[in-house]
Amino acid sequence: MPSRKISLAVSIMVSLIGLTFDEGFTRVYSVGPGQSHANIGDVPWESLSAGDSVLIHYREPLYHEKWVICHAGTESAPIVIRGIPNERGDLPVIDGRDATTRAELNFWNEQRGIIKIGGANKPPDTLPAYIIIENLDIQSGRPPYSFTGRSGSADYVNNCAAIYIEKGEHITIRDCILHDCGNGLFCGNLTTDLIVENNYIYDNGIEGSYYEHNNYTEAYGILFQFNHFGALRARCNGNNLKDRSAGCIIRYNWIEDGNRQLDLVESDDEEWYSDSRYRKTLVYGNILVEGEGEGNSQIIHYGGDGGDESKYRKGTLYLYNNTIVSTRSGNTTLARLSTDEESCDARNNIIYTTASGAHLAMLNSAGTISLRNNWLKAGWLNSHSPGTETVNDGGNVEGEEPGFTECSTQNYTLAEDSPCINGGTSLLSQVLPEHLPIMQYIRHCLAESRPSDATLDIGAYEYPTANVVGESHVLDDYTLSCHPNPFNTNATIRYTLAQPTHVSITIYDILGKQVVQLLSECQLAGYHTISWDSRNDRDEPIAAGFYFCKMKTDEFTGIIKLALAK
């Protein structure tokens, strides 16, 4: 089973009556072998408060437990549920099969999630807020599996999710693996300000059904970034990322396979229909991959699917600086716009099919798309099934190959002779300055700063203006560099923070496995340095080779390549 290799440096803790207290007298509940709590159900979930943390350590056998979070943290003191990996970087596994729940908890819709946020009798129902769930591998919540709940043994339903958010605000799901469930992630429309980042979501769905997906969300304000959305389970017909939100931003993700890669359709919340955020959806900096044999030949659906067109999005899909690849031998359609009241502004995208250009169409049979400075397979069509669609061609680059570094291995960075280099155009004022593409995806679930020069390249990747190992990445006075580089024992990591923030600096090996976390703390703005003695988190010297240094703050993520030569 694939696993993300992530680990954390954990603060030294002092136990007192099964609890641990930090300087602010918030509580840390540590779960697992040798910890103060043997099982997740030993944690008093009904009594959590702002600033509390639950640290779930890796163990074998797996945790067969499920629970609800129904409390509110604050912006400065969130409630954190964090997995602590083993020495190999394997995340603790929460398995829904035969899972049990702490007797003091009583919540509804038990059959719809392994971890649930919001909706409970015990603890008393409230609106959860400022909840962070990170570094957990959550699996196997679907038929035919069952669990023991408040009424005894019960079966999961088809639309059970690894994480089910019934309601909440300011929720973050990060660095998790969500798989082998009906839906990987599900949230309802009583959710606001949801961040989904750095997760691996794959292998979900129900055989023969179109109604369960890797992701199924409906929130007021939702951001997807740095995620890897993999294939659904075999013979499952759902979409990959299905979303009904207002204020939807999808950026810097890798999304492959599924009935459609993106299915962006209507909400049932009437209060959103007159909201400008409902009419504006941003999709940029992503890699969208359509494989042979996937159910639908459309990459993106935007508008609605319920039949009541008064509810449809009827706005604009801003689609820019994405790399879109289809290896279908038959037809591929970039976008289905549900009605003529939906539109798409598509610019600076690579839209490549391995089949001939005659197999590539821009639209299905409705809506308006404006094309500008995209790379398109020569011979492309407006539609395979003409209707009332309108295609405005503002000038694009056409050819047989976009100049990928190596398409056969899915290395979609640009080769030095690519016609996409400096082929982009400026972005619309509706997306600037906040949504300039300043990052680019690294396989998998990592990202780096996108090199900046005078002209955007076409696609999700910018060709580097200087191919220097360990070059500095800059974003509004955030910098990250290493000296010397290459180095043979000791390296100095230099970085600048534009404002006071929490910052972490972590070293990964070439396979993405964490080597050591050098820093995780709040720091003041300004110039900082930290030394690394080329040892791992077990204080062992590491072998010569290439490594990555990742700096992450609330506003910035940067990665540089280090060369250790001994």
- Do the Cβ atoms of 327 and 292 come closer than 8 Å? yes
Rounded-to-integer distance, Cα 78 and Cα 505, Å: 21
Q: Of 441, 467, 493, which residue constitutes the final position of a domain? A: 467
Query: Do residues 531 and 405 both lie within one domain?
Result: no
Let me know whether 193 and 132 are in one domain: yes
Residues 260 and 122 in one domain: no
Q: Are residues 314 and 461 in the same domain?
A: yes
DSSP state letter for 252: S
Residue type at 141 in one-letter notation: G
Residue 460 lies in a domain: yes
Sign of the dihedral through C-alpha 423, 429, 433, 436? negative
Instruction: Write down which residue in 467, 489, 505 finishes a domain.
Output: 467
- Residue 108: inside a domain: yes
Tell me, yes or no, whether 444 lies in a domain: yes
Do residues 462 and 483 share a domain? Answer: no
Q: What is the dihedral of CA 451, 454, 456, 457, to 10 degrees?
A: -80
* Residue 515 and residue 441 share a domain: no
- pLDDT for 145-154, tens place per residue? 999 999 999 9
- Domain assignment present for residue 537? The answer is yes
Q: Which of 435, 467, 499 is the last residue of a domain?
A: 467
Cα angle 304, 307, 309; round to 5: 65
Mark whether 193 and 253 lie in a shared domain: no
Instruction: Give the span between the Cα atoms of 317 and 363, in whole angstroms.
Output: 13
CATH number at residue 545: 2.60.40.1930
List of residues 6+ apart from 12 with CB closer than 8 A: none
Indicate the pTM of the whole model.
0.82
Do 453 and 389 share a structural domain? yes
Give me the sign of the Cα torsion angle 497, 196, 39, 202: negative
Prior bond of 301 cis (ω within 30°): no
Task: Note whether 498 and 441 are same-domain residues.
Answer: no
Tens digit of each residue's pLDDT (9 = 90 or more) over 180-226: 999 999 999 999 999 999 999 999 999 999 999 999 999 999 999 99
CA 453 → CA 150, 155, 465, 474, distances in Å? 59, 55, 8, 12
Residues 6+ apart with CB under 8 A from 432: none
- Kindly state whether residues 189 and 279 are assigned to the same domain: no
Domain annotation covers residue 168: yes
**DSSP characters over 168-228:** EEEEEEES-EEEEESEEEEEEEEEEEEEEES-EEES---BT-SS--SEEEEEEEEEEES-E
Q: Return per-residue pLDDT of the chain as tens, 566 residues.
A: 333 333 222 222 222 223 333 334 589 999 999 999 999 999 999 999 999 999 999 999 999 999 999 999 998 899 999 999 988 889 999 999 999 999 999 999 999 999 999 999 999 999 999 999 999 999 999 999 999 999 999 999 999 999 999 999 999 999 999 999 999 999 999 999 999 999 999 999 999 999 999 999 999 999 999 999 999 999 999 999 999 999 999 999 999 999 999 999 999 999 999 999 999 999 999 999 999 999 899 999 999 999 999 999 999 999 999 999 999 999 999 999 999 999 999 999 999 999 999 999 999 999 999 999 999 999 999 999 999 999 999 999 999 999 999 999 999 999 999 999 999 999 999 999 889 998 899 888 888 778 877 899 999 999 986 443 344 444 457 888 887 877 878 888 988 888 888 999 999 987 778 899 999 988 888 778 898 999 999 999 998 877 889 999 888 888 888 888 76
Q: Is residue 113 part of a domain?
A: yes
Per the structure, the count of domains in the chain is: 3
The answer to whether residue 226 is domain-embedded is no
Phi first, then psi, for residue 412 (nearest 5°) are -95, 15
Alpha-carbon 446 to chain mean position = 10
61 and 161 assigned to the same domain: yes
Query: Do residues 94 and 128 both lie within one domain?
Result: yes
Determine the structural domain holding residue 380 and report its residue range.
Answer: 239-467
Please check whether residue 282 lies inside any domain of the structure: yes
Nearest to 105 by CA among 157, 192, 44: 44
DSSP 93-118: EEE-TTBB--TT-EES-GGGEEEEES
